[in-house]
A = this chain, B = another copy of it.
Amino acid sequence: MSKEISIGLLGSGTVGTGVVRVLKENADDIAKKVGGRIAIKKILVRDISKKREYLEDIQLTDNADDILNDPEIDIVVELLGGQHPAREYMLKAMENGKHVVTANKDVVAQFGHDLFDMAEAKGVDFKFEASVGGGIPIITPLKECLTGNRISEIMGIVNGTTNYMLTKMTEDGSDYASILKEAQAMGYAEANPAADVEGWDAARKAVILASIGFNTRINLEQVSVEGITHIEPADINYANELGYVIKLLAVAKDYGEKGVNVRVHPVFLPSSHPLAAVKDVFNAIFLRGNAIGDAMFYGRGAGSLPTASAVVADIIGEARNIVSDVHSVIGCTCYNSRAFCPIEETESSYYVRLHVDDEPGVLGSIATAFGESGVSLKSVIQTRKVGVHAEIVAVTHVVQHRNLQKAADVLQGLKVVDSIRSIIRVEEN
């Protein structure tokens, strides 16, 4: 119990405050788990004159070097968010022989490679459990608990904002714009919601999950990203009628010799799928391995204390290493160099909603257009009038994305087609 581990925090925002709270409130328990006390020596803040709850007795600094160059600090905990200067601070901390813990998905997704290289060169550890799924343990399970498996797919609800919005659209029947306003009012969505609603936040997490799950480096630039901005109440209703719910998923699938594909898009999920029950701001990561079969990890994907739960676990893990005088036996796990399977070669069933001229024979020409593009249909139904147009909903069999795109192009060119309102993948059980 004599050993004391000193940490320095970069950032005193929502997560930083949460980390301080958790370390303080659970200090006695944590000391037993570590075999020594964890002391927060310094915190980097923007304005040292500002009073902060929970931080009264901690030394504040507005100069990162006070922490990065402090020889007494064992672990630097980066909670600034964003790519810069977070990346540079972490690299410098490692150069100075410090272990690094971060919650920063942006840096891990974009610069994970550099950080692992530096960590290895300097003999320090780099941990980032909080970068995906907030408090949900998923990085450690992938790196340590599922290592006996060949993972074939990972599907995650990894963005709480969009899951909240889709849940509300499903339960209340409201449209996208009004739900976005509500989410913003409740603090679940940012004033500029693009990163969430356009799928970029989920894409970064997809990159991290896929890189670890498939042991190969994935680049954000390779990922196809589609958000939820185009989802209309009609889509929600059809999903419901057909026995599905719409979820925004981060998807990583192994297509064998074609490689690995990683993408973010809305999906029709069967309402019996474990992910379908994941509501509001909750996150969950579902995966399939050749030994475990299906598994799912569920919890709060964001927020001060849940995210702090993961950050503090990493801090404790590192502190235990320091007390035992060992280093982590697992660093970068990208042992493979897999090809990236282009989105065109992925396969799925699709839901397609069209507005067409309300006249005889239209259903036939639509079906023909699909067929000529190599897309076979499971069902096609003309459902209701929308203004002067008729609405048609088609659900395809499993087809190559390339063929579905071809069909969409052909349909778009048909005189009887007014507009393609939605194309959404359908995940079967």
- Interface of A toward B, CB cutoff 8 Å: 18, 22-23, 25-26, 29-30, 32-33, 129, 135-137, 140-141, 144-150, 215, 274, 277, 289-300, 303, 305-306, 308-313, 315-317, 320-321, 323-324, 326-327, 329-330, 333, 335-336
Contacts and interface: CB of A to CB of B under 8 A. Distances in A.
A329 B326 contact: yes
A145 B150 contact: no
A125 to B, nearest CB: 12
Contact of A313 (B147, B290, B309, B327): B147
Contact of A144 (B23, B140, B336): B140
A296 to B, nearest CB: 4
B32 A312 contact: no
A136 B291 CA distance: 11
6 contacts: A22-B291, A26-B148, A26-B150, A33-B335, A135-B292, A291-B308
A295 B148 contact: no
Given A22-B290, A147-B317, A148-B313, 6 more contacts: A25-B290, A140-B145, A144-B317, A148-B309, A293-B299, A296-B297
A131 to B, nearest CB: 14
A309 B135 contact: no
A214 to B, nearest CB: 10
A150 B27 CA distance: 10
Contacts of A313: 144-148
A135 B308 contact: no
A215 B34 CA distance: 13
A295 B146 contact: no
A293 B297 contact: no
A26 B215 CA distance: 13
Contacts of A311: 148
A29 B215 contact: yes
Interface centre among A26, A292, A306, A324 (most CB of B within 10 A): A292
B333 A329 contact: no
A297 to B, nearest CB: 6
Contacts of A305: 290-293
Given A145-B140, A149-B26, A312-B147, A299 B306 contact: no
A149 B25 CA distance: 9
B335 A306 contact: no
A320 B329 contact: yes
B321 A329 contact: yes
Contacts of A308: 148, 291
A333 B148 contact: no
Interface centre among A145, A299, A326 (most CB of B within 10 A): A145
